[in-house]
Chain A
Amino acid sequence: MSQKQEEENPAEETGEEKQEKEGILPERAEEAKLKAKYPSLGQKPGGSDFLMKRLQKGQKYFDSGDYNMAKAKMKNKQLPSAGPDKNLVTGDHIPTPQDLPQRKSSLVTSKLAGGQVE
């Protein structure tokens, strides 16, 4: 194996011979491409930065209020808008349970189990 290394090294050291590199190692050619696009890419790819990012996945929120607001926004987007007749109830008279629109269930059954498309 060490013999092979000695033969290959001179070819690799000349950065010009990219064509040759591609023939030997497609991975190296890809690496060169990446370095060309992102010259500031760290020397040690498996290093701390990369792993740290992996350890802390998940969206960070400012605080729990921020989180709950974001959740509420998402839920509002999913709810279908109530029809115009239902809106008449607001402010017109004191609503009774029958007047209120039915509460949409917050849990939607999975489509794998034949759940409804929203």
Chain B
Amino acid sequence: MAGAGGGNDIQWCFSQVKGAVDDDVAEADIISTVEFNHSGELLATGDKGGRVVIFQQEQENKIQSHSRGEYNVYSTFQSHEPEFDYLKSLEIEEKINKIRWLPQKNAAQFLLSTNDKTIKLWKISERDKRPEGYNLKEEDGRYRDPTTVTTLRVPVCRPMDLMVEASPRRIFANAHTYHINSISINSDYETYLSADDLRINLWHLEITDRSFNIVDIKPANMEELTEVITAAEFHPNSCNTFVYSSSKGTIRLCDMRASALCDRHSKLFEEPEDPSNRSFFSEIISSISDVKFSHSGRYMMTRDYLSVKIWDLNMENRPVETYQVHEYLRSKLCSLYENDCIFDKFECCWNGSDSVVMTGSYNNFFRMFDRNTKRDITLEASRENNKPRTVLKPRKVCASGKRKKDEISVDSLDFNKKILHTAWHPKENIIAVATTNNLYIFQDKVN
């Protein structure tokens, strides 16, 4: 697996930015998920308006080896529409919470996209030929009078301009009472799981009218509710294993071979907390917003409000590595609670070789941690660094005291500019970073 060594030996350069320039952001344009497909050739985004946009990487120009291919729009479609739950009188948002690609089996591409309640399997296929020369139809589709037909001909397939069509092949609905936060495709490529706040269901990709409930943490008495499920993922290689994280900072690993209902975990990953350090905010900031297995399957990464933790699946009592994302926010927790930022759900991702991890922060900053060199870097997604192949300048936040030149003080950070969603190409050093309504693509410097 390619993917160069240290995250800081890499020089990250601006490549592209997608989306409108204007500051007045329509709610529908807020990007809610970003995901590369298994080859990295396709990059999908979902937004609050229920739309999916897929970008395709250009075939590399062998002559011009300045940079890798650019990503251009390949297909766009309306995946989900707003709905109304008549029973509860609640609106069901069309916002796309997650997109997951299926590995490619034939000419078409398949992806799963989900909003709060319904998961859909979309087929994206190309059409570059069409039949011409019908006997009973004119070229524009109007029907001919059969009595005027004097000779017969065989229609032939002629090339046409490439058309990319997206069609919904399966709709998996009515299985979640609470809001779906995760979907994850099993390594068997036949089943997948969907997780909401209290339950996890197992589906077969071919079957829409049934799903198995594999985790249920709903207490008999809702007054006793103490934690919710925040994320879930299947192990990349073991088709019987999955994990789910909670709002209390724990991760449970479950083995589907053990029993039909996996309420009893096989492993419980939890870092013990020093009780003298406990505060009102402790539980809130320990809530895990994302969990991702490494490509190797040996490790998993969790993201809580202030840090990223790497866990060895063989060690449950503490993470093997902890990286501080923005520790300077610890002295701002009061105002972050008041403006709700403390509840922001940041995602995290691995590079192709599992040597570097990345996550977002505020002020359109994002951070990378090199697990080998232990060095980290803060970069900014901004239109100011717009020229292709411009190397991004590392950023630094000044927590307190004298602010050096080029540093930015904590109080100047824009908490409305959050990078919640990032994705790393599975094989190359290409990353997709989503600001509120723009998608940035960065690459490492070639040559």
User: Binding site of B, secondary structure by majority: helix, strand, loop or mixed?
Assistant: mixed
Contact across chains for B91 and A111 when beta carbons are under 8 A apart = no
Per CB-CB distance, the 7 closest pairs between chain A and chain B, nearest first, are A26-B331, A46-B283, A30-B333, A113-B76, A30-B334, A33-B334, A111-B20
From A5, A8, A12, A56, contact of B90 by CB (8 A): A56
Min CB distance B415 to A, Å, is 15
A88 adjacent to chain B (CB < 8 Å) = no
Contact across chains for A27 and B90 when beta carbons are under 8 A apart = no
**A41 contact set on B, CB distance < 8 A:** 280
From B225, B228, B276, contact of A8 by CB (8 A): B276
Contact across chains for B76 and A110 when beta carbons are under 8 A apart = yes
A94 adjacent to chain B (CB < 8 Å) = no
B171 adjacent to chain A (CB < 8 Å) = no
Contact across chains for B227 and A46 when beta carbons are under 8 A apart = yes
Instruction: Count B-side interface residues using an 8 Å CB cutoff.
Output: 58
B302 adjacent to chain A (CB < 8 Å) = no
Contact across chains for A60 and B89 when beta carbons are under 8 A apart = yes
Min CB distance B293 to A, Å, is 25
Residue among A35, A55, A114 with the highest chain B CB neighbour number at 10 A: A55
A90 adjacent to chain B (CB < 8 Å) = no
**B31 contact set on A, CB distance < 8 A:** 112
Tell me the nearest residue of chain B to A114, going by C-beta.
Answer: B73
B359 adjacent to chain A (CB < 8 Å) = no
**B223 contact set on A, CB distance < 8 A:** 48
Q: A55-B197, A111-B29 given as contacts; is B279 within 8 A of A28 (CB)?
A: yes
A45 adjacent to chain B (CB < 8 Å) = yes
Min CB distance B194 to A, Å, is 16
- B contacts, CB < 8 Å to A: 18-20, 22, 26, 28-29, 31, 45, 47, 49, 51, 53, 73, 76, 78, 82, 84, 86, 88-93, 116, 178-179, 197-198, 222-228, 247-248, 274-277, 279-284, 330-334, 337-338, 437, 439
A4 adjacent to chain B (CB < 8 Å) = yes
Q: A51-B225, A57-B179, A62-B89 given as contacts; is B279 within 8 A of A27 (CB)?
A: yes
List 9 additional contacts besides A31-B334, A46-B227, A58-B90; criterion CB under 8 Å.
Answer: A12-B276, A26-B333, A30-B331, A46-B226, A47-B226, A58-B91, A71-B82, A109-B51, A113-B53
Contact across chains for A46 and B91 when beta carbons are under 8 A apart = no
Contact across chains for A34 and B225 when beta carbons are under 8 A apart = no
CA distance A113 to B108 in the complex (A): 21
A108 adjacent to chain B (CB < 8 Å) = yes
Contact across chains for A45 and B276 when beta carbons are under 8 A apart = no
**B178 contact set on A, CB distance < 8 A:** 55
**B198 contact set on A, CB distance < 8 A:** 55
**B20 contact set on A, CB distance < 8 A:** 111, 117
Residue among B18, B26, B276 with the highest chain A CB neighbour number at 10 A: B276
Min CB distance A29 to B, Å, is 7
**B333 contact set on A, CB distance < 8 A:** 26-27, 30-31, 34
From B29, B88, B331, contact of A29 by CB (8 A): B331
Contact across chains for A48 and B225 when beta carbons are under 8 A apart = yes
**B338 contact set on A, CB distance < 8 A:** 34, 37
**B332 contact set on A, CB distance < 8 A:** 30
Min CB distance A107 to B, Å, is 5
Tell me the nearest residue of chain B to A5, going by C-beta.
Answer: B276
Min CB distance B111 to A, Å, is 16
CA distance A33 to B53 in the complex (A): 44
Contact across chains for A27 and B86 when beta carbons are under 8 A apart = no
**B88 contact set on A, CB distance < 8 A:** 60
Within 8 A of B (CB), among A20-76: 25-31, 33-35, 37, 41, 45-48, 51-52, 54-64, 66-68, 71
**B45 contact set on A, CB distance < 8 A:** 112
From A5, A31, A56, A59, contact of B280 by CB (8 A): A31
Min CB distance A7 to B, Å, is 10
**B91 contact set on A, CB distance < 8 A:** 58-59, 61, 67
Tell me the nearest residue of chain A to B54, going by C-beta.
Answer: A113
Tell me the nearest residue of chain B to A109, going by C-beta.
Answer: B76
A82 adjacent to chain B (CB < 8 Å) = no
Contact across chains for B279 and A30 when beta carbons are under 8 A apart = yes
**B18 contact set on A, CB distance < 8 A:** 112
**B19 contact set on A, CB distance < 8 A:** 111-112
Within 8 A of B (CB), among A70-86: 71
**A61 contact set on B, CB distance < 8 A:** 84, 89-91
**A33 contact set on B, CB distance < 8 A:** 334
**A67 contact set on B, CB distance < 8 A:** 84, 89, 91
Contact across chains for A31 and B437 when beta carbons are under 8 A apart = no
**A4 contact set on B, CB distance < 8 A:** 276
Contact across chains for A27 and B282 when beta carbons are under 8 A apart = yes
CA distance A99 to B55 in the complex (A): 40
CA distance A60 to B93 in the complex (A): 12
Min CB distance A31 to B, Å, is 4
Contact across chains for B28 and A51 when beta carbons are under 8 A apart = no
Contact across chains for A110 and B90 when beta carbons are under 8 A apart = no
Contact across chains for A1 and B279 when beta carbons are under 8 A apart = no
CA distance A117 to B178 in the complex (A): 34
Tell me the nearest residue of chain A to B116, going by C-beta.
Answer: A58
